[in-house]
Structure 1
Amino acid sequence: MTIRLRGHHLLCLLTYVGKGYSTAFVANYDRLAVRLSSAEPVALVAGPDDICAPLLAPACEAPHCLNDSVIARDSAALEDISETLGRPLAVGDRLKLDSATLASLRAAFRVGRIRRACVDCQWHSLCTGVAGSGYAGVRVNII
Structure 2
Amino acid sequence: MTVRLRAHHLLCMLTFVGEGYNPAFTENYRSIARRLSAGEEIELVSGPDDICAPLMEGGDPHCLNASVIERDALARQAVARLFGNEIKPGSIIRPEAELLRDLRRNFTSGAIRQACSGCEWEGLCTTIAGGDYQGTFVTRP
Question: Could you tell me which of 113, 116, 130 is aligned with 2:114?
Answer: 116
Unpaired segments of 5 or more residues in structure 1?
none
| Partner residue in 1 for 2:74 | 76
Cα displacement (A) at 1:133 = 0.2
Cα distance in structure 2, aligned partners of 1:139 and 1:126: 15
The aligned length equals 141
Cα distance in structure 2, aligned partners of 1:110 and 1:85: 16
Cα displacement (A) at 1:91 = 1.1
Q: TM-score, normalised by structure 1?
A: 0.97
Secondary structure at 1:97's aligned position in 2?
coil
Percent identity, aligned pairs only, is 48
Cα displacement (A) at 1:42 = 0.7
Q: TM-score, normalised by structure 2?
A: 0.98
Cα deviation code 1:60-84 (max 9, x no counterpart): x311000111001001001101111
CA RMSD of aligned residues (A): 0.7
Secondary structure at 2:89's aligned position in 1?
coil
Runs of 4+ in 1 over 3 A off after TM superposition: none
1:13-52 aligned within 5 A: 13-52=13-52
